[in-house]
Structure 1
């Protein structure tokens, strides 16, 4: 006969031994097996056992005030922690900072994928995630204090490329959570917002000879659960604990939301419009980087506003928002429900989402920043004396095709006003974010440059871009004075060449018509033809090529204009204020090569940006094309006119000779 695995929380926790390695599920405030954490805390407080546990977890799982893993702060309960986030268990973080326990802060996706390595009996995980950050053993190896000595991250070389090897830690106990369980321990997740890594965690503990304890909210009879609804089979589960409703909330702010669980779909058209303030300006400017028909990840804080802006501008159908926790599509939730989504297309396991992210599946991410330096390095993991942790930041920022860091320029009491389309700083923030050197490198600017990864930094008053020379100021808000409002509040002087004004639409309390920009609906208006001079004028001033499809759209418009002209044309292209993502220069040069071979008699272009001219010349030279990139419009026009005269004289000479 099948064993009935349903027991009390106290009986389940009694199975944990001293020095066990315990892993637990949960993401921020969602899907936390609170009854198991509470029972473990209660047993230790009352009996002093079990002692010296190792805790392994991915994202923070708590309310930052003592719930979730925050319950495990009691001295002697933990001796080691391996986690992506310490911010939601501040007393545990404090113990680590005080050298009372050993600890490692590793990327969330790495820990998530290590569960699978453990399950498969593998010694660890090879990954490029973490290279050139504080996780790299050359920069600390993810150790959070001085008493942590063991090296669990190594640099290795495979076929001439550097990789990090993360050592797997075998798991003795897994806390997982689902909705329903039958007596045999089969677990379904029908009322959960996320599935996270429960299957991998259970398999890792089971295959190591450990125990798996599952918290659920109801027990069903044998045969009730359909095979495809079972996400964790009973063969992996040792104990099932039935939790009281209060200990099995969907998250700390919501008892249950059927839309977040994917049980129903609800109308979302009435999303509240954001007020026009600094946060909305940042979200709006970041939204201009959204890739049409692309896959996007948004971080917490200022980046969350992009979702509201996208809805207001009616571009939501043209992008797919995702969370590292596993939600794909729909409207991303915020607050206590962060990580889930209303009306999601699907929910996959967290480790599978990180497979997708690490492999380059993200077209864009927008993440927050706590500190940034002159080299473009960003810190979100340890600052201001606080051990926060990286979460999924390193996986996401290193592997997205385009990265936008977003946040206010200063922090702590910042007040701004928008008046007549201009930004005014009413009260400056007490603390600077742009520093000579970040306290810890969570994102490496130099590594991004090595891989030609496009990176910009958006604030309410200005925008920076990562270049080969460092951080360059490329846009300034109307009403903002560089010498008064920017430079005195930075710890370094950025590269300043010819920054443009931020788009005036950002500072008006009306729709920006962002959809037309993202879909290049008005691109044809940028092209005009002078039949008398046979010159095709292409005005790309302020245009941004974000993804390859933007270049494809431009190619179609130019080919159409050339066909209409009925002959090979001389083209003059204005690249002032033109932006192209670093990884698209070769695609752009390919388009020019095609046009030169089929439609252009000659072409020339001008741009005041020396950096853009250099990159354009390099890309064209690689394809054997004459660059003809000038700094001034007059020089570009003179080149075409001079060439046209030469052609006319040659034609006349040929005609005379005939």
Structure 2
């Protein structure tokens, strides 16, 4: 890259060249001139590997990060390394193996909120032994790794004793549709029904489950009535209506307090549409003027803390790295 970005800053070779310490002597950036103007040359690094963290992964490489505090640039890093011929290594909390129960000719449909198997596949997938081990269930079970097999008609969980059947689809028969078509020994205790939302034509409402936008659980008043807890973790504010709902819920809860409340707010993973940032700040300012005493905001992201400091510069606002620090300061 040959931009002017970084001139006369710490990445300028005349000001250290981006070296992080005295030991780093090899220049990382080169000062050049083009058309009479100074520019900086940033050598393109050879990307060989990306080490990332996620929450859930499937065998197709799809990754969900629903429990991760920091998700910025994960996709960009993975794509950059992959396009450069490198390898992406992702650590996840659990693995979900998804697919059909049988293969070669299998066909099914959903009708009246239940699964209907139109034609069974000719080839079984759950065998007594496989020819080649590409995923070691024995090792993963020994390491207590959470592994789920999600099939169209059932859900299996890997345990140290083998596969446990934990859910069956509505409309599927245990003997006819499952046990008859597998050689693997199963552990069968209590069996639940797979979520009915999966077999419905309407939206599943995953936004609430994955992003935790249920406001009633996000806004809580302490039993003493003097503290308000706002959990904005991983909340996404994209439209004015969502902002209005937050204000309405906070107002409803604050009216139950005997007086002004001290507020502790979690902003981990929070984001709002750029066009709504000013509206969000005005909404919070209105609540603070009406109900709040001191406000203690916290986020594990240094970037988020910097933004919070810019937006909420009031002397009654305190910004911390964790909820523990905020509570300790409040109790001091």
How high is the TM-score relative to the length of structure 2? 0.45
- Name the larger-Rg structure: 1
Q: Which has the higher strand share?
A: 2
Q: Which has the higher helix share?
A: 1
